[in-house]
Amino acid sequence: MHASQNSKAPSYLGVGGGKRVLVGMSGGVDSSVAAYLLREGGWDVIGVTMKVWPQDCLSRTEDKCCGPQAVADARRVAHVLDIPHYVVDEAMDFERLVIDYFSREYRAGRTPNPCIICNEKLKFGNLWEKAKFLDADYVATGHYATIRHTETGAILCKGTDLSKDQSYFLFSLSQEQLTRVLTPLGGMTKPEVRDIARQLGMQVADKKDSQEICFIPNNDYKTFLQSHLGKKELRTGGIYNTSGKYLGPHDGIEMYTVGQRKGLPGGSPQPLYVVDIDPAHSRVIVGFETELIREEFEVEGMNWLGVPLEGSIEVSVKIRSTHRGTLAVLHPMDGKRALVRLQEPQRAIAPGQAAVFYHHDQVRGGGWICRKKTSAG
| Cβ atoms 269, 255 nearer than 8 A | no
Handedness of CA 130, 178, 304, 295 (dihedral sign): negative
**Size of the chain, expressed as the number of residues it contains:** 377
The closest of 183, 171, 181, 184 to 306, measured between CA atoms, is: 171
Q: What is the DSSP letter of 254?
A: G
Task: Examine the residue annotation and report whether 65 is marked as an active-site residue of this protein.
Answer: no
Distance CA 8, CA 187 (A): 5
The closest of 197, 200, 219, 201 to 210, measured between CA atoms, is: 219
Distance CA 28, CA 39 (A): 17
Distance CA 295, CA 67 (A): 42
Say which of 65, 118, 157, 370 is annotated catalytic: 118
Q: What is the DSSP letter of 175?
A: H
Question: How are beta strands 337-347 and 326-334 bridged, if at all?
Answer: antiparallel
Start-end of H helices in the chain = 29-40, 68-81, 91-94, 100-107, 114-118, 127-133, 175-178, 190-199, 221-229
29-40 and 68-81 helices, crossing angle to 10°? 20
Task: Examine the residue annotation and report whether 118 is marked as an active-site residue of this protein.
Answer: yes
Q: Which residues are catalytic?
A: 118, 214
